[in-house]
């Protein structure tokens, strides 16, 4: 099964590019940008990538982002992630970026998006990995600041497929951003939102009804409300689930207790993603392997997780046909009825 998992074509829909900043690259960027880190060694930084909850993780996450200064930094960060995608057989990725994390430090919006976008285009050309870019609003900041960020994005709408909502879920419900999401939709952007990770099932309902999202990021707390589970299954509302992240942030006590396969068997469009892989213990293959070892899925279930991600992605029908053909070819050579 491990060989099967490693070879399985994968599609990632929930990846924060800033959360892929490995300590080695952090030190490299700090050196070239003359930034003093609070760590003496790479290992000390890696040891600091330990935390107790979402907020303590976010504190470390934002501190690490301080080394991202130039367009080259954002390019290198994205390129390093794409190389991991290639190694993990990720054939399509839709990544989040948090412009407010950088503009608050005086980094121009253009600097951020140019570096990321150019790396994504090079990744498609040289690595064969297709991609989309989603701009997130930090929910612990104000609605007004979200509107300012949306305005900054306007010259780059040809590069952005949608907007998302991330950061601290508790205390910052979806309704706080209803008006800015309505504006984004009027501009032709897709909408997604983190909901039902640490927050209640109600946040999932409200993300759907108030923010008109096309996907729910995380969503594992939907099981608090059987009516919601039934609704998600009926409408095939995708959940971009992040197994290793959920364990690291103690959403579940252990991978053996994770509900992703139960939700899959109930007909929900669940997908596997890595979230912030540098902090949460692994990229796409690591997540698939972790749930495989703990939950003993069948090969058909594993393939369905990729099939769901293709269905949930923001690609054209033609592109979806191409990705599904790659998955069909893989199954022809490696699948069986187990």
Which sequence positions are flagged as catalytic?
197
Known binding residue 92? Answer is no
Known binding residue 118? Answer is no
Known binding residue 156? Answer is no
185's CB contacts (< 8 A; 6+ apart) are: 191, 212
Q: Return the sign of the alpha-carbon dihedral for residues 207, 137, 240, 125.
A: positive
Distance CA 310, CA 24 (A): 32
Q: What is the DSSP string of 64-111?
A: HGGG--SHHHHHHHHHHHHHHHHHTTEEEEEEEE-HHHHHTTT--HHH
CA proximity to 1, closest of 332, 306, 299, 264: 299
Known binding residue 73? Answer is no
**7: helix, strand or coil:** helix
Known binding residue 140? Answer is no
Q: What is the DSSP string of 154-185?
A: GGGTTT--EEEEES--TT--GGGGHHHHHHHH
Instruction: Please enumerate, by residue number, every residue annotated as part of a binding site for substrate.
Output: 276
Instruction: Please enumerate, by residue number, every residue annotated as part of a binding site.
Output: 14, 16, 194, 275-276
Instruction: Please enumerate, by residue number, every residue annotated as part of a binding site for Zn(2+).
Output: 14, 16, 194, 275
């Amino acid at each position: 099964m491990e060989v099967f998992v490693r070879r399985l074509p994968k599609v990632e829909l929930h990846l924060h590019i800033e959360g892929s900043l490995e300590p080695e690259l952090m030190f490299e960027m700090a050196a070239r940008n003359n930034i003093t880190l609070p760590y003496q060694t790479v290992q000390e930084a890696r040891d600091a990538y330990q935390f107790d909850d979402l907020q303590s993780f976010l504190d470390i996450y934002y501190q690490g982002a301080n080394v991202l200064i130039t367009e080259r930094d954002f390019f290198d960060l994205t390129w390093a992630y794409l190389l991991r995608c290639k190694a993990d057989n990720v054939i399509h990725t839709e990544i989040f970026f948090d412009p407010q994390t950088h503009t608050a430090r005086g980094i121009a919006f253009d600097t951020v998006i140019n570096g990321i976008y150019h790396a994504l285009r090079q990744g498609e050309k040289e690595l064969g990995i297709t991609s989309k870019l989603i701009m997130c609003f930090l929910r612990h900041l104000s609605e007004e600041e979200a509107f300012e960020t949306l305005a900054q994005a306007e010259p780059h709408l040809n590069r952005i497929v949608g907007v998302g909502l991330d950061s601290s879920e508790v205390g910052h419900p979806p309704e706080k951003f209803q008006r800015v999401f309505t504006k984004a939709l009027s501009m032709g952007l897709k909408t997604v939102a983190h909901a039902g990770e640490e927050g209640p099932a109600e946040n999932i309902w409200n993300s759907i009804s108030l923010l008109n999202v096309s996907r729910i990021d995380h969503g594992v707390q939907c099981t608090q409300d059987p009516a919601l589970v039934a609704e998600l299954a009926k409408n095939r509302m995708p959940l971009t689930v992040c197994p290793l992240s959920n364990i690291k942030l103690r959403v579940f006590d252990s991978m053996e207790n994770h509900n992703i396969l139960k939700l899959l068997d109930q007909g929900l469009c669940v997908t596997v993603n890595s979230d912030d892989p540098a902090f949460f213990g692994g990229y796409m293959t690591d997540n698939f392997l972790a749930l495989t070892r703990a939950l003993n899925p069948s090969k058909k279930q594993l393939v369905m997780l990729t099939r769901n991600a293709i269905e949930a992605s923001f690609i054209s029908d033609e592109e979806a046909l191409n990705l599904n053909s790659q998955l069909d070819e893989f199954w022809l050579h490696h699948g069986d009825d187990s």
